[in-house]
Amino acid sequence: MTSPAALPTDDFVPATGELRLGEDTFGYLAAGPKDGPLVLCAHGFPDIPRGFVGIMPTLVAAGYRVVAPWMRGYAPSTLRGPFDMTTIGDDLCRMADALSPGRPVHLLGHDWGAGCAYAAMRQAPERFAHSVTMSVPHSSAFTRNIRSDSAQQKRSRYIAFFLLPWLPERRIVKHDFAYIDELWARWSPGLTPDPAYMRELKQCLERSMPAPLGYYRALRPSAAANRRQRDMDENPLEVPTLYLCGVDDGCISYAAGAGQEQYFARGFESEAVEDAGHFIQLERPQWLARRLVQWFSHTSGVA
């Protein structure tokens, strides 16, 4: 790997592509040399893969190939469920197999993308050289910490709303997705999103609803979910992982991930990111890209 260069992003346009995995098709944005080590970027809710474009120039300059798919449930990717973390984690594993056969990839997950990254690492640790997760900690730590954190309980009330039938999807689309604007303002209070970005996001949600809410509805208690959580509790992840959370995150606080190092067996670091809320990749893209290159190149000797 070469040292990353500071590159302008205004004129940086990633390529678009389509990946067929069995019965499912996934659209994606991509940049960088096809023979470069792969950085697979998984977005969350409510977001789109374009949020990762700001980090692409630095990663490409360092020799990496970056692929950011529209996740399951987000058009133009498949809108077909189920949307539990095991299924989405398997999507990430299959993407790694298809895009980087025989070579472990670097995994970057934000929000739901982080939650599904943990699932992917549990299912196929050999497929991932390193991971960086943002804004959502390991589920075992979060579940334990929220029990005594009234402030986090208040932040997370929107999840209970999303579990309701039919009402959330009706509320979300009203008044040009004003509810989405409210979430962004609350979660990243220092960020003024680009209007063109928000138009693209809202167009994606309009084409996709209610599928994006399927991730939340898959959280309803079930025997399968209980087994999955026990597995996460009892078996530390084998992929070196860096966790990042914005100091001003209005969705999930940095404290919600306290103690999560016990759930990682091969290296774990955690950082509270200054001057950032929930959407670190948009608020601190150049810093994040440099931190990614640093993390990918120094842990476990894998480049």
Residue 44 falls within a domain, yes or no? yes
**CATH, residue 289:** 3.40.50.1820
- Residue 130 domain flag: yes
Give the Cα separation of 46 and 27 in Å (integer).
17
Q: Has residue 3 got a pLDDT over 90?
A: no
- CA gap 251, 278 in Å, rounded: 7
User: What pLDDT, on the 0 to 100 scale, is given for residue 10?
Assistant: 61
Domain contains 183: yes
178 assigned to some structural domain: yes
Residue-range definition of the domain harbouring residue 246: 15-298
Structural domain includes residue 146: yes
Q: How many structural domains is the chain composed of?
A: 1
Residues 6+ apart with CB under 8 A from 231: 122
For 39, other C-beta atoms within 10 Å of its C-beta total 30
CA 241 to CA 132: how far, in whole Å?
Answer: 6
In a domain, residue 6? The reply is: no
If 0-12 CB within 10 Å is exposed, 13-18 middle and 19+ buried, where does residue 204 land? buried
Tell me if 144 is assigned to some domain: yes
Q: What is the mean pLDDT of residues 54-72?
A: 98
Question: What's the whole-model pTM score?
Answer: 0.94
Q: What is the rounded (10 degree) CA torsion for 26, 31, 35, 41?
A: -50
The pLDDT value given to residue 4: 37
The residue that leads in pLDDT, 174 or 220, is 174
pLDDT band at 148 (very low <50, low <70, confident <90, very high): very high
Band (11; pLDDT cuts 50, 70, 90): confident
Q: Could you tell me if residue 43 is inside a domain?
A: yes
Q: What is the pLDDT of residue 299?
A: 59
Kindly state the tokens that stand for 222. 């079930």
**pLDDT score recorded for residue 225:** 80
pLDDT at 302 over 50: no
pLDDT on residue 8: 42
Condensed to tens digits (0 to 9), the pLDDT of residues 77-133 reads 999 999 999 999 999 999 999 999 989 999 999 999 999 999 999 999 999 999 999
Percent of the chain clearing pLDDT 90 (strictly above):
88
Ordered DSSP codes for 125-148: GGGEEEEEEESS--HHHHHHHHTT
Give me the percent of the chain exceeding a pLDDT of 70: 95
CA atoms within 13 A on the CB side of 157: 5
pLDDT tens-digit series, residues 180-227: 999 999 999 999 999 999 999 999 999 999 999 999 999 988 887 888
